[in-house]
Structure 1
């Protein structure tokens, strides 16, 4: 059984639904968690493409990801989440941390309760997967013994500065700081939590997105019980690798 925590609003539909669908189809039981125990809602702009102008096709979620999201929100697990405070770490084999850049993500990224739970997953050496802004949540989780980030000694990736700033510059004229969740980029914050910035991996630059049959554009960094990915374009490969690691731990 694995846990997928989400904010009340603003998560990326691809980064949550693609792994959900891949894991569910393979019999993995999934429990969702939200701040108040009510069903989460995705960043609607990524579903509708509203406000993306000429970059709509590139910036919004792909059709198959939207279909997976529609399926996910109809599931009983999604409709009946638990509260962050009700998370009992010992019940789960793994936790999967999706991302998203809408300001609504702050209730997830800044939750001291959720940060503490993530730290427990690391302390118990359970499987932890993080994609995009999900790596920020992992970076903010503090090891209670060392008082450093749980990622301090880990290899990782996360949303790249050039990806974050590229989307911001494309849309800033009319969407303002929509793509800037915080003044500091994801890459900069995650690097600051590591023993050395060389532990952060960028991979090869690609505008292409992976698929179930093509992993070539993707980057997934695996280090012991932790794996990470950069953006929605890595989601299929991230889901596959997460499942492979999950099988080893069960």
Structure 2
């Protein structure tokens, strides 16, 4: 009997996601034979953060050449150029085995993080990733994608991450790069503007016991956290993208029969 082809969807803003956190997982999922879809608010083809793709900011802070090649390949795919609209009345995450939330610090990503539609969809989907439900559904998020997930709240008003183990962009790293580049780039590295709380602080603030549930590492080596109760994986920043994708592929293959 033929196995089911896993279905993955990337939830994206029109502009601003990090190219490494998007293109690297996309390539991994395609190589694994997964059916990959993208969704933006009105079905507009997304664009990743140009500062991470070109100019001196790319060379010093952004995507490497291998990722630029992967981004070029991804941006020519029909699923990317003609994404699904997540604002249509009949949009649902139900058909997908994996919901992937890429990150990115450019202010445009607030379109998806702050969307009531996305928050509602994630609030309905995430509980189905409970391992005991055996529903063949999973979520993976990286960097600001974790922040977007933390904003999804259930009927009790609590975040879906309230009792979940996760990582996200470390506050120390976020503040460090912000201050290191502020003279030239202003508040570019602060998605909600200078003075706003860090991604780490925002995510921890949604948790029941952040001291034990929030996991982090300041190492440059890949670091991915897997929750024990839910089919949920999280990463911190671009260097984690490949490992996160690999672990997501393993997880999805385990739950999709």
Give the structure-1-normalised TM-score.
0.91
Deviations 1:152-175 (A, max 9, x none): 000000001111111111110011
Instruction: Work out which of the residue numbers 153, 160, 175 in structure 2 matches 1:150.
Output: 160
Instruction: Work out which of the residue numbers 169, 173, 191 in structure 1 matches 2:204.
Output: 191
Residue 225 of structure 1, CA deviation: 1.1
Deviates more, 1:119-128 or 1:37-46: 119-128
| Whole-Å separation in 2 of the counterparts to 1:159 and 1:58 | 19
Q: SS of the residue aligned with 1:85? A: coil
Residue 63 of structure 1, CA deviation: 1.3
User: What is residue 212 of structure 1 aligned with on the other side?
Assistant: none
| Whole-Å separation in 2 of the counterparts to 1:245 and 1:176 | 40
Q: SS of the residue aligned with 1:88? A: coil
Indicate yes or no: 2:121 matched with 1:111.
no
User: What is residue 69 of structure 1 aligned with on the other side?
Assistant: 71
Residue 120 of structure 1, CA deviation: 1.7
Which segments of 5 or more consecutive residues in structure 2 lack a partner in the other structure?
A: 1-6, 130-136
Residue 58 of structure 1, CA deviation: 4.2
Map residues 90-101 of structure 1 onto 2, 5 A cutoff. Answer: 90-101=94-105
Q: SS of the residue aligned with 1:128? A: strand
Confirm or deny: 8 A CA contact 1:138 1:150 kept in the other structure: yes
| Whole-Å separation in 1 of the counterparts to 2:172 and 2:61 | 15
RMSD: 1.2
Instruction: Work out which of the residue numbers 143, 149, 170 in structure 2 matches 1:132.
Output: 143
| Whole-Å separation in 2 of the counterparts to 1:44 and 1:99 | 14
Q: SS of the residue aligned with 1:150? A: coil
User: What is residue 159 of structure 1 aligned with on the other side?
Assistant: 169
Instruction: Work out which of the residue numbers 213, 220, 224 in structure 2 matches 1:220.
Output: 224
| Whole-Å separation in 1 of the counterparts to 2:55 and 2:182 | 15
Indicate yes or no: 2:121 matched with 1:121.
no
User: What is residue 201 of structure 1 aligned with on the other side?
Assistant: 215
Residue 248 of structure 1, CA deviation: 1.0
The number of residue pairs the alignment matches comes to 235
Give the structure-2-normalised TM-score.
0.88
Q: SS of the residue aligned with 2:87? A: helix
| Whole-Å separation in 1 of the counterparts to 2:127 and 2:239 | 30
| Whole-Å separation in 2 of the counterparts to 1:123 and 1:237 | 24
Residue 9 of structure 1, CA deviation: 0.5
Confirm or deny: 8 A CA contact 1:49 1:59 kept in the other structure: no
Deviations 1:122-174 (A, max 9, x none): 12222010000000011000122x32000000000000111111111111001
Which segments of 5 or more consecutive residues in structure 1 lack a partner in the other structure?
A: 209-216
Map residues 10-21 of structure 1 onto 2, 5 A cutoff. Answer: 10-21=16-27
Map residues 49-60 of structure 1 onto 2, 5 A cutoff. Answer: 49-50=55-56, 52=57, 57-60=59-62
Deviations 1:193-239 (A, max 9, x none): 00012211112x23x4xxxxxxxx11100012111000001011001
| Whole-Å separation in 2 of the counterparts to 1:17 and 1:77 | 13
| Whole-Å separation in 1 of the counterparts to 2:72 and 2:24 | 11
